[in-house]
Amino acid sequence: MQTFVLLVVWVLGTSLVLPDPDTAGDKATEEPIPCSKGCTCLHDDYSLELNMYCSARNFTQVPTDMPTSTHSLWLDGNLFTSLPPVSFRDLSNLDFLNLQSGQLMTIDAQAFKGLRSLAHIHLERNRLRVLPGIIFQNTPNLASLSLHNNQLSRIEERLFAGLSHMWLLNLGWNSLTVLPETAFQDLQGLRELILAGNRLAYLQPQLFQNLVELKELDLTGNYLKNIKANVFVKLTKLQKLYLAQNQIVTVVPRAFVGMKSLRWLDLTNNKLTSLHEDTFLGLHSLHVLRLSNNSITGIRPRTFRDLQYLEELRLSYNKIRALGERIFEGLGHLEVLELEHNQVQEAQVGSFTGLSHVAVINLSGSCFHSLPDHVFKGLPKLHSLHLDRGCLTRITAKAFTGLSGLRRLFLQHNNISVVEYQSFVDLVGLLGLDLSFNKLEVLTTNTFSGLKNLEYLLLSNNDCRQFLQNGTKQLLPRLRYLDLRANAMTNLVPDFSDSTEKLLLSGNRWRCDCSALPLRNYSLKNPLVIPRRVETHAEGEEPDTTITIYNNITCTSPARLAGQDLRDVDSELFQSC
């Protein structure tokens, strides 16, 4: 009996120390992951692949004890200056290698030996001057290679041989002056090629011939002077071509023939003086064309005839003085036309013919003294027209004929002293009108006739002596914001609708006698409409930059009240009124 009891106790006792299958797994996962000294190793939450993080550890050489199962390796921001042969021994599963922002100057031809699974290499922001011609033969499955911001001055002819799986190659911001004609011939799968910020002065006809899948090509900031025919002819799938900030003087006729998929072409900041009528021939899919900051002196008719799907055309900061007839014909889908700072002096009645969908025309910085009658006729979708910072001295009665859909009209910073009778009568949809910084002296009911939907009216920094002595409520029934600062006003009849939200009045010459009583009563009754100070955005500043405007109604007469705010004048002084 005693033996039996002891046996039961022994069985029960041993059962108490048997491993629990539910906790056994936890103990296993709690065991430290093998990792190189000074690094951190973690398994990916989803794929369970091993990632090793050795960023900015001041390593002077690549660790030698890396786990063989490493899938992604971060070695960026370290101090080693070279990669010896077989630097990543036994890492046959490595997919991602980050070596950017370091001190690398040389890489041995066999440094990547054994990395046949490697798909992504980051070598940007180092001090590399040259790469061995066979260095990437050990990484045949490379998909992306970043070499930008180094000091590379040349590329070996067969450096990228066999890399048919590559879809991204970034060679930007190096010191490349010429590229071997066959440098990219094996990159048939390449989607994006970045060559920006180099010193390339010439593109060989065969350079891009095999890049049949290329979608984006960036040549910004090189030394290119001429764009010749057939350089891009095989890039039938290219969608974006960046040629800005070069020294391009000439684009030969038919230079972009064959680029049937091109949607974006940037030629900003070059030295173009003219455009041939066949310059853009065949670009039927183009949506954006940027030609700003050149020296183009004029536009020929038919120049844009093939660009029927163009939506944005930027021609700002050129030397176009005259706009001829039908120069934009064919641009039936154009929405944005930028022509600012050309000092345009002449335009014809048919200059904008064909722009049936244009929504924004920017002519800021032009030098019209007056606008030709009907010059904007046939623009039913136009909603924003910029004519600010120019030489306008008067607004003629028929300048804006037919613009019933216009929403915003910018006329600030001109020399306008005359607005002819019913000049704005056709602008029945206008919401915002900016006439600030001009030389207007007299505003009558005829000045704003037809603007029943106007909400914002800016008239600051003129010489206005009065503003619509009566009838404002009927003439501008939806007016919400009125800026009359810095004028020569002595009096104002506050005949405003209930929709008025803000009235700015500082910087005038208010006469604080009985004639000012209606304004005083209105301002005291409506402190939100005429606040003592307003937080607003400074002109031309970033949206998050605010300034404080003090909205004073400062008396200039009678002398005893000079300097006081009308709202603070003792009410007893108005008892006899």
Tell me, yes or no, whether 196 lies in a domain.
Answer: no
Tell me, yes or no, whether 195 lies in a domain.
Answer: no
pLDDT value of position 494: 92
Phi, psi of 291 (to 5 degrees): -130, 20
H or E stretch including 385? strand 384-386
Give yes or no: residues 483 and 527 share one domain: yes
CB atoms near residue 119 (< 10 Å): 18
Higher pLDDT, 32 or 16: 32
Q: Where a domain ends, among 345, 367, 389?
A: 367
Give yes or no: residues 556 and 438 share one domain: yes
pLDDT value of position 31: 73
- pLDDT score of 425 more than 50: yes
- pLDDT score of 396 more than 90: yes
Q: What share of the chain is helix, strand, coil (3-state, %, to 5)?
A: 10, 15, 75
Between CA 362 and CA 355 the distance in angstroms is 14
Give yes or no: residues 446 and 501 share one domain: yes
Between CA 239 and CA 492 the distance in angstroms is 58
Nearest to 71 by CA among 45, 99, 100, 92: 92
Nearest to 71 by CA among 99, 52, 90: 52
Give yes or no: residues 387 and 421 share one domain: yes
H or E stretch including 71? strand 70-74
Tell me, yes or no, whether 11 lies in a domain.
Answer: no
- pLDDT score of 383 more than 70: yes
Q: What residue type is 164 in one-letter code? A: S
In DSSP terms, 266 is beta-bridged to 242, 290
Specify whether the CB–CB gap between 226 and 248 falls below 8 A. yes
Between CA 258 and CA 275 the distance in angstroms is 19
Tell me, yes or no, whether 452 lies in a domain.
Answer: yes
pLDDT value of position 539: 64
Confidence of residue 129 (pLDDT cuts 50, 70, 90): very high
Q: What is the arithmetic mean of pLDDT over 433-449? A: 93
Between CA 337 and CA 363 the distance in angstroms is 9
Tell me, yes or no, whether 342 lies in a domain.
Answer: yes
Burial of 253 from C-beta contacts in 10 A (0-12 / 13-18 / 19+): middle
Q: Which residues of 198-208 are buried (b: 16+ CB within 10 A; e: fewer)?
A: bebeebeebbb
Give yes or no: residues 284 and 402 share one domain: no
Confidence of residue 1 (pLDDT cuts 50, 70, 90): very low
Per-residue model confidence as pLDDT tens digits over 27-77: 444 578 899 999 999 999 998 999 999 999 999 999 999 999 999 999 999
- pLDDT score of 26 more than 50: no
Q: What is the arithmetic mean of pLDDT over 336-349? A: 95
Start-to-end C-alpha separation, the chain: 124
Q: What totals of helices (H) and strands (E) does the chain contain, helices first?
A: 4, 33
Tell me, yes or no, whether 18 lies in a domain.
Answer: no
Give yes or no: residues 335 and 428 share one domain: no
Nearest to 434 by CA among 470, 474, 386, 466: 386
Give yes or no: residues 411 and 358 share one domain: no
Specify whether the CB–CB gap between 111 and 137 falls below 8 A. no
Specify whether the CB–CB gap between 31 and 50 falls below 8 A. no
Give yes or no: residues 387 and 525 share one domain: yes
- pLDDT score of 263 more than 80: yes
Q: Nearest 5 degrees, angle CA 134-CA 135-CA 139?
A: 110
Which of 11-15, 118-122, 360-364 comes out lowest in average pLDDT?
A: 11-15
Give yes or no: residues 416 and 476 share one domain: yes
Q: Where a domain ends, among 313, 332, 367?
A: 367
Specify whether the CB–CB gap between 211 and 188 falls below 8 A. yes
pLDDT value of position 543: 61
Question: Above pLDDT 90, what percent of the chain?
Answer: 87
Q: What is the arithmetic mean of pLDDT over 315-337? A: 96
Nearest to 222 by CA among 192, 250, 185, 194: 194
Give the domain extent around 314.
254-367
Structure tokens at 14: 């041993």
Q: What is the arithmetic mean of pLDDT over 518-541? A: 88
Phi, psi of 136 (to 5 degrees): -95, 10
Per-residue model confidence as pLDDT tens digits over 458-498: 999 999 998 987 778 999 999 999 999 999 999 999 999 99
- pLDDT score of 283 more than 80: yes
Total tally of structural domains belonging to the chain = 2
Confidence of residue 163 (pLDDT cuts 50, 70, 90): very high
Q: CB under 8 Å to 546, separation ≥6 — which residues?
A: 535, 536, 537, 538
pLDDT value of position 545: 80
The residue behind tokens 């072409």 is: 265
pLDDT value of position 8: 32
Between CA 42 and CA 463 the distance in angstroms is 71
Question: Above pLDDT 70, what percent of the chain?
Answer: 94
Q: Where a domain ends, among 332, 367, 402?
A: 367
- pLDDT score of 19 more than 80: no
pTM of the model: 0.90
pLDDT value of position 4: 39
Structure tokens at 420: 């002819």
CATH of the domain at 282: 3.80.10.10
Give yes or no: residues 406 and 304 share one domain: no
The per-residue pLDDT of the chain, averaged, comes to: 92
Structure tokens at 46: 């989803």
Confidence of residue 284 (pLDDT cuts 50, 70, 90): very high
Q: What residue type is 494 in one-letter code? A: P
- pLDDT score of 550 more than 50: yes
Give yes or no: residues 355 and 493 share one domain: no
Tell me, yes or no, whether 78 lies in a domain.
Answer: no
Between CA 85 and CA 68 the distance in angstroms is 17
Structure tokens at 163: 């890399």
Tell me, yes or no, whether 309 lies in a domain.
Answer: yes
Give yes or no: residues 404 and 544 share one domain: yes
The residue behind tokens 């029960």 is: 12
Between CA 264 and CA 287 the distance in angstroms is 6
Per-residue model confidence as pLDDT tens digits over 183-192: 999 999 999 9
CB atoms near residue 64 (< 10 Å): 10
Q: What residue type is 13 in one-letter code? A: G
